[in-house]
Structure 1
Amino acid sequence: MSVATPSPSPDTLAYSLTLPADLTSPRIARATTRAVLQLHRLEDVTDAAVQVVGELAACACRFTSGAEVYLSLRCREGALRVIFYDGHPRHTHPRLAAACDARRRAALRVLGCVVRACEG
């Protein structure tokens, strides 16, 4: 008895990927995102999502204190959800936390422009 596997669609998009925190990971994350989104027939958001993933990957690899970063791609309720986790712990000192937050925001300026342009 064979079990029917649903064909890839936006509703079945659910991928997670752990990558090394090095200079090759943004390229790998972009290529994987492009392939996955095209497979799931999400061509209309692919270019913007690849840009977002590339920016998040570069920032995550820059700020992580660990050896790995984590990417999650999901489609829920008609929205693509991209999560990049870098494992950088929150600073306990308020001034250090504020400075770190400011550096991260500055590093993600292009990302903010892409998200606003795509109304996401």
Structure 2
Amino acid sequence: MAPAVLRLFFHDCFVNGCDASVLLDSTSHMESDKAAEPNDSLARLRHHQRDQVLPRARLPWPCADVIALASRDTVSLLGGPAWNVPLGRKDSRAANVSAADAYLSSPHANLTELLNKFATHGLDA
């Protein structure tokens, strides 16, 4: 589940910032980020394990903070680095499917395409 949790985090943050918009469902006024092709790869987490990370009960913290904390803790528990997670994010009320398509890698991207996409966000290999 660790790769799925970390993937959820960067799929959320790469679009409109770390605002949990990737969790929003489509409405009559807005198409969800979930509809973007790159987010097809999040389906396993969304359908089978999301409730383990983000329970359906109302959380006392923004979902955006919970995604960030879950990502940090998952990486750390598996022996990776830990980092400070400033809290206080606001959960979005809007999604942006076109930005998700533009800023996220296709689930079919090769390594070169992935490295280039991460580089646009200031990340290297």
TM-score (norm 1): 0.25
Structure richer in strand, relative to its length: 1
Larger radius of gyration: 1
> Which has the higher relative contact order, 1 or 2, with Cα contacts under 8 A spaced 6 or more apart?
2
TM-score (norm 2): 0.24
